Chain A
């Protein structure tokens, strides 16, 4: 290479390098990702007084709630860290596997709190594999409203490989605060009384399960009933108002001993029991009831049907339920008040009165009942297996004596709104508020009325 060429090459190289350097310099002057900030270097201030003051001034309303947030957050973190929910779930299932069933009751108020324990003796004895169709159960249930319920049951199903079943049960039930306002549709809320009822039932069962959804069951039962004054003195004791005043003849106030011949049929094809979206159930009840040493003697006829319809979507459900009941006294005999049809409340155990949610529980008693319940339920929240429905409800019903006493004007209606939370097929929470001409009733339960 000649000197001149070398010089030219060096000059050219220098120019290229210079040019590249300039370009690089320009590039460096505008690096879009450079740490160049509008208000000085981005660094932590040792004493951010202004920020602290601003934070206090704009967040002071929140700070009191932090006192709540912290313990809740820590508790939840503890539950997760130590798998507390898994432990509880496992322990509960283990207990159930051993045949021990804890039972709790939803609460409408503190009086509604309740709980109990049921034992499956076949499971307890570890014989469920050898005796899969035998049920030997016993249990007890108490509530803060002075209800005690003890039950023992022996039932053999699938006898001879058929749907035949037979068994017996014994039940003792004591209710210390039952409401009674008199008989008929025109009673007054102001005349409310309470009574205590003690009922002991011994029954034999013979039935047949045609399919998983259809069954027929007959029962022969002896029942001993004692009536006394209830615990809620504020309402007035039943014997003072209805016995001593003679305001109304109330059959059965002295209690009774009754023999019952019962036949029941049930068909239930709801897709799920707790929050059905389709299907329904039909129940028929017929019984003859006769007092051993009293004037009691009557036939009870009761029909109940519910049907659920999807309104073009499983997120919109219409539920319809109807009940007809008539207690027809045998000539010259009576129907005791405690076995009459009852109406009022949400009808969820341990309540007995049928569903008319705008009224107090057991608000109406009489020999006959006509009732229509309607619900429109629609999904408002879903998260995996969780779902919350909103419910518009309407109940319309009345109690009356004979069919000839029935009058349209005696219908008592209520309407309301509710929210139901389910997890999978299981009801978790049911909140309802219902209004009637007599006031507003509020319910919180773990299941729906129908």
Chain B
């Protein structure tokens, strides 16, 4: 063999060796990605949030600094127009474009629930603790989780779950399908290998006799049927709960720490609207799904039977929504006032004669209800980090729901007593307005900015929704010419018109103009928070709207 041949052979071997050694590095891109999995645990959630993070919050120097100096941290997943673009966390639905009545009522449902034409085979279950239920497979082979009402409160938790899940869906969150389903006892069969955790804490074989015993603890409808909320089991690999802090390191779609995501922070506002006191990490789920032909992680909210006036154990307890599970501040206030100060939830409960509204509604009203005072059971950092701009964003979406929209979604609860949807609709409508009124005051509620030639037009949401009367507001403008980071105040003006005209020379002189607008309502001494509208000059003349920023 000649030297060149030998050399080429050696080189070939070296090349093959190198490429084969490097192969795993390249092949990883084509192999299915592997994701970290975790298991949800309410107990761990409670310890983490109510004890650990709450106790150590001021050991976080950044948090301490922000609290001491009143600094806010802006959400990082908002675009230049101060909106949250669609992602695997959130999809703009009703907030972006009005959903039809049918779409609102249908929510994420792709089926009408388990196929009632055939038997349902129970293959797994749990009959103890907070969330008792059965996993069933229907005649079509589809899997569902059936959850039930507390014994004396038929329709309470099941209705709340179906209704609130549809609201969260319309708001933009990923939500599994929940439907009201009714069935007869003889529709249920037990799979041979079905196991269930019963109240002994041991996993046991589920027998028809045991099932019969469990059904005694489920409320029966007058026609002998049972009602459940049927949650369709999500297709895809379940990775465990979504954390409200930090981010997944194994997900390229997850570049922002969750506490800095506006849609996570805003759960505080949406939670208040829907009385979702039980929003917690263990009520969320990360699922690997095929999206556009690629496996990607979608982040779901699940378990909505704690909402409106309901919890899985019965009506919403009177202190829920007012205090965290362990609310150190409230405990201290109670201690220091020697019990002489009556807390708002105590007043509310006492004034209600310590009576719930009804067995189907539970406990849900707006007495002593304040949009900024709502507390979820667990105090998550992102909820504390909610800024004015985040709250405004959430309120803006909520205000898109008309009375009719709300009524339509509530009708998905299939309540038998017509007073129940009436009451729920009324409370939700009032609470929607409480939210709008509050957040449109906290932030500058100017929205829907449009640039027509040199004129900026906008809408005042507080006026549009009737919280402020037309003509009662003065808009203070400050025009800032921007060159790089430097800015020069070019003009200041005020008007009652919802429009402002930019002078052409400003646009010629500066590559960008920032318009700082503050709104002053009649009777107010000074204007409120600002909203910044950013306009950029275009090369061929003219200008374009380059950004919107509400004060945090």
A385 to B364 Cα, complex, angstroms: 20
Q: List 18 A-B contacts (CB under 8 A).
A: A36-B81, A42-B76, A42-B256, A45-B255, A62-B60, A65-B52, A69-B48, A69-B52, A73-B47, A73-B48, A76-B43, A80-B41, A90-B201, A316-B339, A379-B334, A380-B339, A382-B319, A383-B319
Beta-carbon contact of B255 and A33 below 8 Å: no
A36-B79, A42-B255, A73-B48 given; name 18 further pairs at CB < 8 Å: A32-B81, A33-B81, A33-B84, A42-B76, A42-B256, A69-B52, A73-B44, A73-B47, A83-B128, A83-B129, A83-B197, A90-B202, A379-B334, A379-B339, A380-B334, A383-B325, A383-B326, A390-B334
Partner of B544, one of A29, A42, A80: A29
Tell me the B residues contacting A by CB distance below 8 Å: 39, 41-44, 46-48, 52, 56, 59-62, 76-77, 79-81, 83-86, 92, 96, 128-129, 197, 199-202, 252, 254-256, 313, 317, 319, 323, 325-327, 330-331, 334-335, 338-340, 342, 346, 350, 450-451, 544-545, 547-548
0/1 interface trace, chain A 367-384, chain B, CB 8 Å (1 if under)? 000000000101111111
A5 CB within 8 Å of chain B: no
Partner of A313, one of B80, B256, B339, B547: B339
Beta-carbon contact of A388 and B331 below 8 Å: yes
Residues of A close to B544: CB separation below 8 A: 29-30
Beta-carbon contact of A76 and B59 below 8 Å: no
In the assembled complex, the CB of A30 is this many whole angstroms from the nearest CB of chain B, namely 5
Known A-B contacts A315-B346, A381-B330; A38 and B60 likewise in contact (beta carbons under 8 Å): no
Residues of B close to A86: CB separation below 8 A: 128-129, 197, 199-201
A3 CB within 8 Å of chain B: no
A4 CB within 8 Å of chain B: no
Partner of B83, one of A32, A69, A77: A32
Question: In chain A between 352 and 376, which residues have their CB closer than 8 angstroms to a CB of chain B?
Answer: 376
Residues of A close to B79: CB separation below 8 A: 32-37
Partner of B80, one of A36, A88, A382: A36
0/1 interface trace, chain A 36-74, chain B, CB 8 Å (1 if under)? 111000111100000000100111011001000100111
0/1 interface trace, chain A 12-39, chain B, CB 8 Å (1 if under)? 0000000000000000011011111110
In the assembled complex, the CB of B58 is this many whole angstroms from the nearest CB of chain A, namely 9
In the assembled complex, the CB of B38 is this many whole angstroms from the nearest CB of chain A, namely 9
Residues of A close to B256: CB separation below 8 A: 42
Residues of A close to B77: CB separation below 8 A: 42
In the assembled complex, the CB of A384 is this many whole angstroms from the nearest CB of chain B, namely 6
A409 CB within 8 Å of chain B: no
Beta-carbon contact of B56 and A65 below 8 Å: yes
A90 to B199 Cα, complex, angstroms: 8
Beta-carbon contact of B44 and A77 below 8 Å: yes
A65 to B53 Cα, complex, angstroms: 10
Residues of A close to B44: CB separation below 8 A: 73-74, 76-77, 80
A74 to B92 Cα, complex, angstroms: 36
Known A-B contacts A42-B255, A65-B52, A76-B47; A83 and B339 likewise in contact (beta carbons under 8 Å): no
* Residue on A nearest B339 in the bound complex, by CB: A378
Known A-B contacts A58-B62, A72-B47; A38 and B547 likewise in contact (beta carbons under 8 Å): yes
Residues of B close to A388: CB separation below 8 A: 331
Known A-B contacts A34-B79, A62-B56, A87-B201; A44 and B547 likewise in contact (beta carbons under 8 Å): no
A88 to B252 Cα, complex, angstroms: 44
Known A-B contacts A42-B255, A86-B199; A77 and B43 likewise in contact (beta carbons under 8 Å): yes
A120 to B438 Cα, complex, angstroms: 63
Residues of B close to A87: CB separation below 8 A: 200-202
Beta-carbon contact of B199 and A34 below 8 Å: no
Residues of B close to A88: CB separation below 8 A: 201
Beta-carbon contact of B325 and A83 below 8 Å: no
Which bracket fits the contact residues of A?
35 or more
Beta-carbon contact of B200 and A33 below 8 Å: no
Residues of A close to B83: CB separation below 8 A: 32-33
5 tightest Cβ-Cβ pairs between the two chains A and B: A378-B339, A86-B201, A87-B201, A380-B334, A83-B201
Residues of B close to A382: CB separation below 8 A: 319
Partner of A58, one of B61, B80, B84, B323: B61
Question: In chain A between 292 and 316, which residues have their CB closer than 8 angstroms to a CB of chain B?
Answer: 313, 315-316
Residues of B close to A34: CB separation below 8 A: 79, 81, 85
In the assembled complex, the CB of B33 is this many whole angstroms from the nearest CB of chain A, namely 14
Known A-B contacts A30-B545, A34-B81; A90 and B334 likewise in contact (beta carbons under 8 Å): no
Residues of B close to A30: CB separation below 8 A: 81, 450-451, 544-545
In the assembled complex, the CB of A433 is this many whole angstroms from the nearest CB of chain B, namely 14
Beta-carbon contact of A43 and B48 below 8 Å: no
A160 to B544 Cα, complex, angstroms: 99
A77 to B389 Cα, complex, angstroms: 36
A378 to B342 Cα, complex, angstroms: 11
A81 CB within 8 Å of chain B: yes
A383 to B255 Cα, complex, angstroms: 37
A79 CB within 8 Å of chain B: yes
A89 CB within 8 Å of chain B: yes
Interface centre among B339, B350, B547 (most CB of A within 10 A): B339
A404 to B5 Cα, complex, angstroms: 126
Residues of B close to A392: CB separation below 8 A: 338
* Residue on A nearest B201 in the bound complex, by CB: A86
A222 to B44 Cα, complex, angstroms: 56
Residues of B close to A379: CB separation below 8 A: 334, 339
Partner of B331, one of A45, A73, A380: A380
A376 to B202 Cα, complex, angstroms: 44
A290 to B450 Cα, complex, angstroms: 103
Beta-carbon contact of A38 and B80 below 8 Å: yes
* Residue on B nearest A388 in the bound complex, by CB: B331
Interface centre among A32, A59, A72, A76 (most CB of B within 10 A): A32
* Residue on A nearest B538 in the bound complex, by CB: A29
* Residue on B nearest A74 in the bound complex, by CB: B44
Residues of B close to A33: CB separation below 8 A: 79, 81, 83-86, 92, 96
A397 to B254 Cα, complex, angstroms: 68
A67 to B299 Cα, complex, angstroms: 28
Residues of A close to B61: CB separation below 8 A: 57-59, 61
Partner of A61, one of B59, B334, B346: B59
* Residue on B nearest A419 in the bound complex, by CB: B335
A85 CB within 8 Å of chain B: yes
A81 to B255 Cα, complex, angstroms: 31
* Residue on A nearest B74 in the bound complex, by CB: A38
A33 to B84 Cα, complex, angstroms: 6
Residues of B close to A54: CB separation below 8 A: 62
Residues of B close to A313: CB separation below 8 A: 339, 342, 350
